[in-house]
Structure 1
Amino acid sequence: MCRHLAYLGDAVPIGQLLVEPPFGLYRQSWAPRSQRYGTVNVDGFGVGWYADGDEVPARYRRSGPIWADRSFADLARVVRTRALLAAVRSATEGCADGENAAAPFAAGPWLFSHNGALPGWPERYDKAAAALPPAELLALEARTDSALVWALVLHRLRAGAAPGDALADTVRTLAACGEARLNLLLTDGTSIAATTWGDTLFHRTGGTGTDGASVLVVSEPGDDGPGWIPVPDHSLLIADRNGVDVHPLRPS
């Protein structure tokens, strides 16, 4: 499993979101508090963020633990953003390692992360993978279950599906193949879509109206302050700076 986080709001340093919270994503790489599978997340990490005036996000990914990367410490201190998706990785057995296997995955304006696993991958999911054109299968960024999940989501987005529908349809397809764990997180820098399917998710909003409003969607809270709302398992979350909607996500 993994831990991940998405943010929309006023421009803040990356470190304020990831490093400074006492139980934030940085600490969750070695001491997660709510993780149901696995104990540490040291098999890579990644951060994707959006700069004003550019809809295509930048990414910084590495194959090792987030706390061992001195360059990230400088980046997190000075880079500010209004929208971000970040993840720390606990690799699924049998999946590739390396930087390309670390979330967030990206295409155009999209950033994506998968907190979960596809037990029995790849054989058990051959029917789901068969829905992809051969060129998209060959373009998988890494030989991992998460890269396949991202390819299925992206295929639906490119076909015109709304973000929430793309996630929900992908979850239903993969859940029909086996006991998959599918907490998915997707953003284009203006909205967030997420699912719960086998692990924890929380959200917190701040401010009022448009100016000053913010939303955080996280695998687990980064502090013990007020305002964190747990998302029930088997749910679809849609959020922007003005609010959060949560709906039941039922199997096919």
Structure 2
Amino acid sequence: MCRHVAYLGPPVRLGTVLVEPAYALYRQAWAPRQQEHGTVNADGFGVGWYAPGDPVPARYRRAGPMWADPSFTDLARVVRSGSILAAVRDTTDGSAPDASAAAPYGEGRWLFSHNGALPGWPGSVAALAGRLPAEELLNLEARCDSALVWALVLHRLRDGASPGEALADTVTEVAARVPARLNLLLTDGETIAATAWGDTLWHRWERGSHVVVASEPYDDAPGWTRVPDRTVILARPDGIDATPLKEPPV
């Protein structure tokens, strides 16, 4: 299992979102408050952010725990961005142990994270992998369930699906084959798309200012709203749209 968070709004230091709040992602690496599967997220972490004038985000990813990387806390102290996506990782059995498997994954303007697991991976979803073109399978960022989910989402984005459609259709397709937990985060630096499927998801929206979507609140300030399970949301600083997800066919 994992924890993740995405922010859109006025530029802030990475640490303002990821390190400094009382229950920030930094603390969730060893003491998440709402995680229902797994206890410690020390198998890797990553942060992606967008710089003004550049649609392609930068990424910083490591295989170890967030708290053990002084370079990250130094980076988070000075780097500013108006669009951030970050995650801490609790690996699925059989997955790659290196930084390549740490979210966020990315291509072009996209950043992506998966909070969840595909039980029985990889055999349980071999048929799904077989539906992808060979070139896309060979270009998986890592050998892990999250990288496969990202490949399925990216395939739909390349085919012209909207962010919400790409996430919703991928969740339905995967959940029809395996009892997976599929909380997904996707951003292009302007919109956050997310799904709640099997674990906690929250958002906090300050009208006209900023929006945060996260596995769990990073502080106890008012304004956090729990996203119902089986829901896809689209979040921007000007508002949040939520749509129930269809149950997959039996």
Establish whether TM, by shorter chain, passes 0.5: yes
Over the matched positions of the two proteins, sequence identity in percent amounts to 65
Equivalent residue letter for 1:40? V
Aligned twin of 1:150? 150
Aligned twin of 1:248? 244
> What pairs up with 1:48-87 in 2 under 5 angstroms?
48-87=48-87
Q: List per-residue Cα deviations over 1:104-160 (Å, max 9, x = no partner).
A: 000000000000000011111112112100110111111000000000000000000
Aligned twin of 2:105? 105
Aligned twin of 2:94? 94
2:217 equivalent among 214, 217, 221:
221
Aligned twin of 2:183? 183
Provide the secondary structure at the position in 2 that maps to 1:32. Answer: coil
Matched, 1:32 2:32: yes
Using the alignment, how far apart are the partners of 2:12 and 2:196 within structure 1? 27
The TM-score, its normalising length taken from structure 2, stands at 0.98
Provide the secondary structure at the position in 1 that maps to 2:106. Answer: strand
Point out 4+ residue stretches in structure 1 off by more than 4 angstroms.
none
Provide the secondary structure at the position in 2 that maps to 1:15. Answer: helix
Using the alignment, how far apart are the partners of 2:122 and 2:30 within structure 1? 28
Using the alignment, how far apart are the partners of 1:109 and 1:241 within structure 2? 19
The TM-score, its normalising length taken from structure 1, stands at 0.97
Q: CA RMSD in A?
A: 0.6
Using the alignment, how far apart are the partners of 1:135 and 1:244 within structure 2? 36
User: Which blocks of at least 5 consecutive residues in structure 2 are unaligned?
Assistant: none
> What pairs up with 1:190-229 in 2 under 5 angstroms?
190-206=190-206, 208-209=207-208, 213-229=209-225
Using the TM superposition, give the Cα deviation of residue 178 of structure 1 relative to its aligned residue in structure 2, in angstroms: 1.1
Aligned twin of 2:228? 232
Q: List per-residue Cα deviations over 1:183-205 (Å, max 9, x = no partner).
A: 00000000000001100000001
Using the alignment, how far apart are the partners of 2:131 and 2:184 within structure 1? 19
Using the alignment, how far apart are the partners of 1:108 and 1:61 within structure 2? 17
Matched, 1:5 2:1: no
Equivalent residue letter for 2:193? A
Using the TM superposition, give the Cα deviation of residue 251 of structure 1 relative to its aligned residue in structure 2, in angstroms: 2.0
Using the alignment, how far apart are the partners of 1:80 and 1:248 within structure 2? 34
Using the TM superposition, give the Cα deviation of residue 245 of structure 1 relative to its aligned residue in structure 2, in angstroms: 1.0
Using the alignment, how far apart are the partners of 2:227 and 2:20 within structure 1? 24
Equivalent residue letter for 2:162? A
Using the alignment, how far apart are the partners of 1:122 and 1:143 within structure 2? 9
- How many residue pairs match? The answer is 248
User: Which blocks of at least 5 consecutive residues in structure 1 are unaligned?
Assistant: none
Using the alignment, how far apart are the partners of 1:91 and 1:126 within structure 2? 19
